[in-house]
Amino acid sequence: MTKPGTSRIKKETWWWTNEVEADIKSKKEAFKQWRQTRIQQDKDVYNLRKKEAKIQIAKAKQEHFEDLYRRLETRQGESEIYRIAKTRHAKTRDIGNVRIVKAADGGSTTKRYPQRNSPIQEFLEEHPTSDLCL
């Protein structure tokens, strides 16, 4: 499904198969046909293709998760559980945690904002201490 303001479906590679792609393509073609003709028969064809695509997507996701759960139950799957948890945790972190930002010249900088001097430092820069000691 596409979200408002986007023109493409974001393919999640773990469940996107050739069968799913073919069903979605036929659904899109049926939708275009219905939008051009505005005939009830074309709308019925579109709704049928839409249901078929939803079923195909659900089957593909179910197959993937069954395979994933089978792999997680093995000895090697124990380490994969931690990798999945680490990835999920990283996705929930706030972008404000970033300490290094790529600079315009290609390097990196650790300053998020230009460092501002304190009012005392600004005063001392404007009035050298030799003037104050007179």
Domain ranges of the chain: 18-132
* Per-residue model confidence as pLDDT tens digits over 21-69: 999 999 999 999 999 999 999 999 999 999 999 999 999 999 988 998 8
112 Cβ contact list (under 8 Å, min separation 6):
98, 101
* Per-residue model confidence as pLDDT tens digits over 94-118: 555 556 666 777 776 665 455 566 7
pTM of the model: 0.54
Query: What phi-psi label fits residue 114: left (phi over 0), alpha (psi between -120 and 50 degrees) or beta?
Result: beta
Task: Give the position of tokens 């999640």.
Answer: 12
Distance CA 61, CA 69 (A): 12
Residue 32, both tokens: 């275009």
Q: What are the two backbone dihedrals, phi and then psi, of residue 109, each rounded to the nearest 5 degrees?
A: -135, 145
